[in-house]
Every structure is written in structure tokens, then in C-alpha cells.
Amino acid sequence: MWHTLLSSGKMRFFLVENRARPFGSRIVSFGATGFATDKFCYQARSTLPPYLGVQVARHYLSHELPLLNREQIARANANGGLNVMMCFAGWDYDGLSREQILAVRERQSEAFHLAHSGYRVKEFLADATGEEDLHWMLDAGAHVRRDYSGYFQKHRVRIPKSSQRPQLVGLTKEEAFASPGSHLSSFFVYTPPRFNFNPSEQMLLNHSLMGETSEELARSLFISTWTVKKRWHAIYQRVADVDAELLLPPVTNTPDATGRGAERRRHLLHYLRQHLEELRPLSR
């Protein structure tokens, strides 16, 4: 299931590491989200049993996976919008003080924003397990959709204690804009891309944002350094055609050409970090 979700682009991860820990044990929190169908979101809000991750696994086993693949994401992102659903999450707070736990929570929110900013989002759904997790979600701007009390009573299942009780929370674009200022409300702000990079250019830029050099880009993208250089040239030309002032003057064969080229790239990447919609799939 994990291989299918990751290889098809149906799930994305965001995580927080404690790099003071030994290698192999640095992850202190993670989340996994997918873009869900409208039908599944409606079922989650109305009839499905608790725990979104369990329901995703059940749908996978019945060959009815309710998550969009890359092509479907691109089409929805260009039209009606996407439903972001947090399917899985976990954390390891052992040995952390209360202040450190809050710091991890803040970093997790930043990682979530980095992974999803720039998409045309219309609804957000997530599990909140336990009172602390619920309060965190509510403070971020979410609303309770289901507390599952009716489900537990109907199926004669004992309601879990408060520290383990699941609740479904969510937020729509309309709700977010009606109460601006929360962490989640900014998640629904969408700006159309200006440069319309193609998928190969977007992939190179995404890797570049992680700090990869030209040689590392060639290895990770399985292309030659000459192809990397050619793609950068196409990217610069595309940007110059739309907003020439965003870039430094073209690099010439002078002694400081290498430095000027690196500075030119830095300017562009800095802009893209603030405008992630340029790097999101969009059906043309």
C-alpha cells in the first residue's frame, strides 16, 4: 500500500527531525496527507467509522482508493480545487520538555504549510486523537465535524477515554475566509502561477529548493549536467519573458560569471519559496 501511494503521488509526507539525536532515530513527528475525492470526504463527515488512515487502508484493499494521483491532482488544481486529508500522523515526544514539544508542534505546522501551500484547496479534514491534539487543531482554526458518539452508540462500542478518543476536524475555504487570521486560514489563499513551468522544470526547481547543486541535480534526476544547464536556461528564459526584473542580468563569460550565476539562481529560488504555486502540478 505504501509503495502504491508514494509511487503514484497519492500521498506526501512532512516531518520534523531532531538532528541532535543519533542517525536513524531523529524523526520526532511526521504527517502523511493525500488529496481525497469529494465522495470520500462526504462519507468521512457522515457515515464512515473513525480513523481516516484505517478507512484509506480498507478502501485500498477493496481496490477503491479514494486518493487522487498526480494527473488527477493537476486537473483538480486547475479547476474546482482539492480536498487535503491528513491520513496518518505520529510523534515521539519521549524525553522532551513541554517547551520542546511546543517547538516540535510549531515546526510540524511549518512543514505542513511548506508541503501544501500553493495548491487550490477547498477543504481540509484530519483526525484529532485525544484532548491535546483536538485543542491544537481547534486553535489552528479547524472545526469539529464528528465526535463519533453516535457511531459508538449505534455499534455498541465503548467510547474511548478522553486521551484516546478520536474526533474528525475540518475546515472549508468559506469557513477560513469568514474567520481569517488562524494558521489554517492562510492555507486556503491561492494565487495562480505566473510562469507555468513544465513538469520537468518544476522537478528541477523543487530539488534545487532543497539545496542540490548542479551535479547533485543530475544524479537525483537521472539526467546529464548538460541537460541540467539546458533546463536552467529554459527556466530563466520563461521567467524573463514574464517578469524580467525578477532576475539579474544574463551571465556572460567573465571571471565572476560563476558567482553571478549562483546569485541569479538564489534570487529566483528565494522568490519561489514565497510563491510555491509555481511548483504545483496544474493541468494545462
Per-residue pLDDT, 135 = 93
Four-point Cα dihedral 19, 23, 28, 29, nearest 10:
100
* pLDDT (0 to 100) of residue 251: 57
What per-residue string of b and e applies to 73-93 under the rule 16 or more CB within 10 Å gives b?
A: bbebbeeebbbbbbbbbebee
Give this prediction's pTM.
0.88
Give the residue from 29, 186, 171, 2 showing the smallest Cα distance to 93. Answer: 29
For 2-188, the fitting CATH number among 3.40.630, 1.10.3470, 1.10.260, 2.60.40 is: 3.40.630
Cα 154 → chain centroid: 35
How far is 120 from 99, CA to CA, in rounded Å? 34
Q: Where are the domains of the chain?
A: 2-188, 199-279
Q: Residue 242: what are its φ and ψ, rounded to 5°?
A: -100, -45
* Residue 282 burial (C-beta neighbours within 10 Å; 0-12, 13-18, 19+): buried
Rounded CA separation 12/210 (Å): 16
The residue type of 91 is W
Per-residue pLDDT of the chain (284 residues; tens, 9 = 90+): 989 998 888 999 888 998 888 998 899 999 999 999 999 999 999 999 999 999 999 999 999 999 999 999 999 999 999 999 999 998 888 888 999 999 998 999 888 888 899 999 999 999 999 998 999 999 999 999 999 999 999 999 898 998 899 999 999 999 999 988 888 998 899 999 999 999 999 999 999 998 999 999 999 999 999 999 999 999 999 999 999 889 877 655 555 555 677 888 999 999 999 999 999 998 86
* Alpha-carbon dihedral sign for residues 65, 134, 191, 231: negative
